[in-house]
Amino acid sequence: MEQPIKILIVEDNVIIADDMQSMLEEIGYEIVDNVIVYEQAVEVLKTQQVDLVLIDIILASDKTGIDLGKHIRANYNIPFIFVTSNSDRATVENAKTVKPNGYLVKPFEQQDLYTSIEIALSSFNYNEKGNSGNTKNDAPVNEEDKLMSNSVLKDSIFVKKQHLYYRIQFGDIQFIKADNVYLEVNTADKKFLVRSPLKDYLEKLPSNKFYRAHKSYIVNVDHIEAINSKDIMINNNLIPISKEFKEFIISAMNS
């Protein structure tokens, strides 16, 4: 099922925050909440599904946006973007320590905001291992809780359609075809265009399901319906296969 991404805004200037929310909602993103301090943001992350966070570095609390970035990196596997009026070297160097997925300097236009989000989502690796999940009073996170809380991101990927990114379950992706600088991501009844090298995109997908079947194709082996010496069939589409992939499939069939 396709869902628009959910964004949390953390900005202590209510005029700027409301303006950002209007920009994002006009594009089509869903705003989970709009908060002004670190503690409120932590609570929202703990209790609601958030796909991306926009964070002002200077907040109306003792803890800064950089502290929030550290909290996200330690406990969640989601991208965040710093939105700030400060572009001096010291602030940038400090921000770099938490590895934000973007850095947007105020004032900015709607297109700047959209572009920063697009780049952050398309480049973020949701399969990267590390701490994830919710915490309570910064206590150690139970492994089972981490898997449950982050299962949505571990089982899916964001793909672009028009001006939005949609979450697509890995299991729904049938095959991916390279077409010049774009990739065509195919589900049972939809196609999405993604700007990425085929090799890089393969690294974002579960290695036990997705394989390079041909120089121009990645396939989900769960959706293979038939095979011959040169092709496989997925959803009535004939897809060429390499000699190596053919041998791999035959070996798997006979094992």
pLDDT string in tens for the chain (255-residue length): 457 789 999 999 999 999 999 999 988 899 999 999 999 999 999 999 999 999 999 898 899 999 999 999 999 999 999 998 877 888 888 888 999 999 998 888 888 888 888 888 877 866 554 443 433 333 333 433 333 333 334 577 777 666 666 778 889 999 999 987 788 999 999 888 887 888 888 888 888 899 999 999 999 999 999 998 899 999 999 999 999 998 888 888 776
Is the link from the previous residue into 107 a cis peptide, with omega within 30 of 0?
A: yes
Contacts for 113-117 with beta carbons within 8 Å, 24 or more apart? 113/20, 113/23, 113/24, 114/23, 114/27, 114/163, 116/81, 117/7, 117/29, 117/52, 117/81
Q: Is the dihedral of CA 20, 56, 37, 122 positive or negative?
A: positive
User: Smallest Cα–Cα separation from 195: which of 208, 175, 179?
Assistant: 179
Residue 169 has a pLDDT of 87
Domains of the chain: 6-145 (3.40.50.2300), 173-254 (2.40.50.1020)
Residue 162 has a pLDDT of 62
Please state at what angle helix 65-75 crosses helix 38-47, rounded to 10 degrees: 20
Whole-angstrom CA distances from 196 to 55, 80, 175, 178 are: 27, 21, 15, 9
H or E element, residue 151: helix 151-154
Burial (0-12, 13-18, 19+ Cβ within 10 Å), 14: exposed
Total residue count of the chain as it appears in this document: 255
Please state at what angle helix 65-75 crosses helix 89-96, rounded to 10 degrees: 20
pLDDT in tens, 38-93: 999 999 999 999 999 999 998 988 999 999 999 999 999 999 999 988 778 888 88
Residue 74 has a pLDDT of 92
The Cα 104–Cα 81 span in angstroms is 7
Residue 255 has a pLDDT of 60
